[in-house]
Amino acid sequence: MATKDTKPWLDTSDPQKFINNTAKFNDLMMMYRCAIREVRTKLEVLDDEFSVENQRNPISFIKTRIKKPESIYRKLQKLGCEFTPDNIVTQLHDVAGIRVVCAFVDDIYTIADLLASQDDITVLQVKDYIKNPKPNGYRSYHMIIEIPVFFSRGKTPMKVEIQIRTNGMDFWATLEHQLRYKKGIEQMDGYEEVSKELMECAVAVINMDNEMQNIKNKIGKFHDI
Residues known to be catalytic: 161
For residue 205, the surrounding DSSP H or E stretch is helix 191-224
Which phi and psi angles does 213 have, rounded to 5°? -65, -40
Name the amino acid, one letter, at 91: Q
Q: Please enumerate in sequence order all residues whose Cβ is within 8 A of that of 136, keeping only pairs 6 or more positions apart, or say none.
A: 176, 180, 195, 198, 199, 202
5 C-beta neighbours (distance < 10 Å), count: 10
Beta bridge partners of residue 165, listed in sequence order:
101
Query: Residues of 164-176 as b/e, b for ≥16 C-beta within 10 angstroms?
Result: bbbbbbbebbeeb
Give the span between the Cα atoms of 35 and 65, in whole angstroms.
Answer: 11
Q: Is 136 helix (H, G, I), strand (E, B) or coil?
A: coil
Name the amino acid, one letter, at 177: H
Give the span between the Cα atoms of 79 and 122, in whole angstroms.
Answer: 25
Nearest alpha-carbon partner for 65 in 89, 101, 91, 29: 29
For residue 32, the number of C-alpha atoms closer than 13 Å in the C-beta half-sphere is 24
